[in-house]
């Protein structure tokens, strides 16, 4: 039926789009100019496999009372908070956005951040690659 709405059709579309985004980011993640240890770190970050406090609580390594951000703020230390929303590191992203000419970046997810710098950036492939390297460097510094 033409013009009909099916949930499974929307789900397939969204999942295929997500896979395309992951492949594009993955292709830039293993960039020849990025040291292997940094690529592995970012790959683990995208998989939510870093030893952030939320992951340590899930594995019973630390107690729930030690769950808060290492920067001293009263937020829970999740990967998305630590790398995107923490007040301590927010200034870094603000400066990078200003320097790169972006007024806003998708800060809803870690993948969204890499997706923005890897895929959605206008310009040449070399510019996208360079901005992606800047993004990877910032994440590594944090």
Render pLDDT for 65-105 as a digit per residue (tens, 0 to 9): 888 887 766 788 888 888 888 888 888 888 888 887 766 66
Residue 134 has which token pair?
């800047």
80 CB-near residues (< 8 Å, 6+ apart)? 109, 110
pLDDT at 71: 74
| pLDDT tens-place string over residues 27-69 | 667 777 888 899 899 889 988 899 988 889 988 898 888 888 8
Domain boundaries, given as residue ranges, for the chain: 7-141
Backbone angles phi and psi of 117, in degrees to 5: -75, -25
**pLDDT at residue 18 tops 60:** no
Residue pair 128/118 in contact (Cβ under 8 Å)? The answer is yes
d(CA 108, CA 133): 20
Q: Please report which confidence band the pLDDT of residue 1 belongs to, taking 50, 70 and 90 as the band edges.
A: very low
Q: What is the model's pLDDT at position 37?
A: 92
What pLDDT, on a 0 to 100 scale, did the predictor assign at position 17? 47
Report the Cα 22 to chain-centroid distance in Å. Answer: 11
Question: For 120-139, what is the mean pLDDT?
Answer: 77
- Is the entire prediction scored with pTM above 0.75? no
Return the H-helix or E-strand segment holding 128.
Answer: helix 125-141
């Amino acid at each position: 039926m033409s013009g009909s709405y099916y949930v499974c059709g929307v789900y397939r579309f969204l999942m295929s789009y997500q896979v395309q985004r992951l492949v594009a980011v993955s292709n830039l993640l293993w960039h020849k100019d990025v040291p292997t240890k940094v690529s592995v770190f970012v790959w683990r970050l995208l998989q939510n496999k870093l030893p952030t406090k939320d992951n340590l609580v899930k594995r019973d390594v630390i107690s729930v009372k030690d769950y808060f951000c290492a920067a001293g703020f009263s937020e829970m230390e999740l990967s998305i908070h630590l790398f995107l929303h923490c007040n301590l590191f927010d200034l870094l992203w603000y400066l990078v956005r200003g320097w790169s000419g972006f007024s806003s970046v998708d800060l809803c997810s870690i993948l969204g951040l890499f997706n923005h710098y890897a895929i959605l950036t206008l310009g040449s492939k070399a510019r996208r690659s360079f901005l992606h390297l800047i993004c990877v460097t910032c994440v590594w510094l944090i």
